[in-house]
Chains A and B, each alone.
Chain A
Amino acid sequence: MTVDPDFPIRKVLIANRGEIACRIIRSLRAMGLGSVAVHHAAEAGALHVRMADQAVELFGDTPVAAHLDTAQIIAAATTTGADAIHPGYGFLSENADFARAVADAGLIFIGPSADSIALMGDKISSREFAQAHGVPVAPSVMPTDDLDEFARQAAQIGFPLLIKASAGGGGKGMSIVRDADGLIPAARLAASEAQRYFNDGRIYAELYVERPRHIEVQILGDGENGAIHLHERECSIQRRFQKIVEEAPSAALPPELAAEICAAAVRLAQAASYRNAGTVEFILAPDGRFYFLEMNTRLQVEHPVTEMISGLDLVAAQINIAAGRGLPIRQDQLRRDGHAIECRICAEDPERDFMPETGAIRLLRVPQAPWLRFESGLTEGEAVTADFDPMLAKLVVHGASREQAIERTLDALRELTLLGVTTNIDYLARVIDSPAFRAGDLHTGFVAQHAQALAPAPMADDALAPVLIAAALGFREFRQAVFDVPALHAAIGPWRN
């Protein structure tokens, strides 16, 4: 591809690793731009390091610390002559100080302004901003340690209410109150827990949405007033408050409601003069009311499902926006083709409460078809350690309809083989194949609600034997007993027993 000679970006440093670094390098290559990878010594042989045109080693006590070292990363960009930095997701992607430092170093940050990151990164300021621009937020009581004032405000909102510690996290000081009688005792308990755990007795409360769905909208903003949406995604299948299955568009959402949610997201992006790709997340109640949850000011893990139905390359769009070339399309040019599903392949054990697992990639077989993408930074032989997030890869599948996407996902999951570390591949297949998922009957408590139905089925005897025989023939001790026997003994049979 020939590159526009005036294009201000020639070479991009990717301040990330794993599948997303590999995915960004692919778009850079397609655009004719150079790539620089960064890595800690522990991942020197990783795929993103081998794929990039250049690689720079980062030093740090832990691999994660190295990937969070702003000064080293900016120095690496300067030394290698990169013009821009793409932060991917996680790590420094939503760090306003990093975005500012990149700009101060005379480099282009492929992301929003530091001010946008700061505005949306704070729960209170982003909520107030959304509310001020006509984006619905869940009715809530602002943080206070005055229990009488708290009870008065809370009673006005109605029930059920979710009480949380202001300084909270990890479920401490959190409770659901279903009626007025339970309010004061629950508030008192929450405040005392909050004081004990966080040394901050302030609590707040918001309307608790039963069976909520997680609906989010992909937006692109040009940094001025131009902002468009690229449809919504549904990410209601979660465990440990993290998504494991995402799809675009959402399952069984009335078109008018989807349009209304997308319009709210665009309004927010326009009001913020947002620049870059971003995601506005909402909680959707069963009655169709929806509330602003937060805005992620970066590329999202699940962005490929949006790419598959829109035909757009979101990384290329981010780079073009950062280069001042504006949005890739007008809103009225947006198309929507079929349905896409993403499964997050994680090193974890669904039978043990999704605990992360470690091991090594001993065997990897990836399905191939024109309608699927396997996004990973994996290579056979690589160790899977506790140094990084347990997500190993993403399987993204497109179909003409949701039904076809489901069948293709099941075929692909069945074919996908990753041995040497325990993964959630089989669990994901059971989720996708479940009647509730097929029916689009989704909410964020899906995994817990269907825990029994999603447990592995016991194996039939005639399925057990092939597995045991194939396994036995892998053990040296067993093979010796079968093959390394003098012919005479073999002919006599198991006389020693």
Chain B
Amino acid sequence: MSFALLLNGTRHEIEIIRRRPHLLLRIDGRDYTVQDPGPAGDGELALTIDGRHVTALRAAGDDAQSLRCDGRTHVVQLADDGGGAGADGGLSELRAPMPGAVIEIHAAPGQRIARGDPLLTIESMKLQTVLAAPRDGTVAEIAVAQDETFGKDQILARLTPEDESDA
């Protein structure tokens, strides 16, 4: 059974080759034997990989694992290959590129918009940025209010899914 992981944005394949007597994993074509896989959850980990002891700290985020290993910090995501994000590659959602606040809302739910039309003006670090529609379509929802603050990657607006708006 195989999983795809994104480490700092780069994709890696990790395959479960054997589970007993020790876990055998194949990563990017190379095999690794893992002993003491440890408990689930956040905190210290002590793994033995190919006989070598490895310690790390791990914490789960919303859809990622953050790790501190060998003095470096990493963020690893499970690549969602099942198409859960939508066949249009997330083009139905407008996500915040950085944390900030809503300065102006340019479109309302139900409104037809063309790709590139302004949806929101946001301010982050005293810089104003206009966020534009990622494709043609209909505004389904503006998920933030005037002056509301938001975090990075938060969904700010949604478009009606393509098949519905085209129907």
Contact = CB atoms under 8 A, between A and B. Distances in A.
A149 interface: no
B42 interface: yes
Contacts of A420: 59, 61, 66
A355 B125 contact: yes
A481 B25 CA distance: 12
B126 A414 contact: no
Interface in A460-481: 461, 463-479, 481
B41 to A, nearest CB: 8
A471 B67 contact: yes
A71 interface: no
Contact of A387 (B20, B32, B149): B149
Interface in B139-154: 147, 149-152
Contacts of A475: 3, 65, 78
Contacts of B30: 461, 465
A468 B12 contact: yes
A473 B73 contact: no
A461 B5 CA distance: 15
Given A465-B27, A471-B76, A491 B61 contact: no
Contacts of A355: 98, 124-125
B56 to A, nearest CB: 4
Q: Which of B23, B42, B66, B98 has the most CB of A within 10 A?
A: B66
A46 B19 CA distance: 45
A386 B99 contact: yes
Contacts, number: 169
Given A469-B32, A470-B54, A497-B1, A362 B61 contact: yes
Nearest to A386: B99
Nearest to A470: B56
A472 B99 contact: no
Contact of B69 (A385, A470, A472, A482): A470
Nearest to B44: A365
Contacts of A476: 40
Interface string B130-167: 00000000000000000101111000000000000000
Contact of A482 (B23, B27, B41, B76): B23
A463 B52 CA distance: 12
Interface string A416-445: 010110110110010000000000000000
Nearest to B57: A417
B108 interface: no
Interface string B50-91: 000010111111000111111111111010000000000000
A489 to B, nearest CB: 9
A478 B149 CA distance: 35
Nearest to A356: B99
B113 interface: no
Given A362-B42, A496-B1, A356 B78 contact: no
B71 A414 contact: yes
B35 to A, nearest CB: 11
A482 B67 contact: no
A426 B73 CA distance: 7
A254 interface: no
Given A466-B54, A467-B69, A479-B40, A485 B32 contact: no
Nearest to A493: B18
Contacts of A477: 3, 78
Interface of B: 1-3, 5, 7, 12, 14-20, 23, 25, 27-28, 30, 32, 34, 37-38, 40-43, 45, 47, 49, 54, 56-61, 65-76, 78, 98-101, 124-126, 147, 149-152
Given A356-B98, A470-B69, 12 more contacts: A362-B66, A363-B57, A386-B149, A419-B67, A420-B61, A464-B12, A466-B70, A469-B14, A477-B78, A478-B14, A481-B16, A491-B20
17 contacts: A62-B149, A356-B125, A362-B59, A363-B43, A386-B150, A419-B73, A464-B12, A468-B12, A469-B34, A470-B69, A471-B67, A471-B76, A478-B78, A479-B40, A481-B16, A482-B23, A490-B19
